[in-house]
Amino acid sequence: MRHPFPQVRFIFLTKRIDRKGSFFRSLQRIGKLIPCTKSGPQEVQDWLQDWARKKGKFLTPPALQALYELAGDDVNLLVGELEKIILLVGEREEIGIEDVLAQGGKRMHHIFKVIEALGYGKVDEALKGVRSLLEHGEEPLGILGMISRHFRLLSVVKEMDSDGRSTAEIGRRLRIPASYLQSLLSHASSIPWSFLEKAFQDLLRTDLLLKTEKGLGTLALERLILDLAGPGAISGSENASEVTREGKSKF
Q: How many structural domains compose the chain?
A: 1
In a domain, 3, yes or no: no
Has this prediction a pTM greater than 0.95? Answer: no
Please report, for the domain that includes residue 214, its CATH number. 1.20.272.10
Q: What pLDDT is stored for residue 232 in this prediction?
A: 43
In a domain, 38, yes or no: no
Q: What pLDDT is stored for residue 160 in this prediction?
A: 92
Residue 125: how many other CB atoms lie within 10 Å: 18
In a domain, 198, yes or no: yes
Helix residue ranges, H only, 72-192: 75-89, 97-100, 106-119, 123-135, 140-162, 167-174, 178-190
In a domain, 92, yes or no: no
The range of the structural domain enclosing residue 141 comes to 137-247
In a domain, 148, yes or no: yes
| Helix (H), strand (E) at residue 225 | helix 217-228
In a domain, 103, yes or no: no
Q: What pLDDT is stored for residue 95 in this prediction?
A: 92
Helix (H, G, I), strand (E, B) or coil at 59: strand
In a domain, 182, yes or no: yes
Per-residue pLDDT of the chain (251 residues; tens, 9 = 90+): 455 566 777 777 776 777 777 777 777 777 777 766 666 778 888 888 999 999 999 999 888 877 876 666 677 778 888 888 898 899 999 998 888 877 766 666 677 778 778 777 788 888 888 888 888 777 888 888 888 888 888 899 999 988 888 888 888 887 666 767 787 888 888 888 888 899 999 999 999 988 888 777 788 898 898 888 754 443 333 333 333 333 333 33
Q: Quote the Cα angle for 233-202-119, to 5°.
A: 40
In a domain, 13, yes or no: no
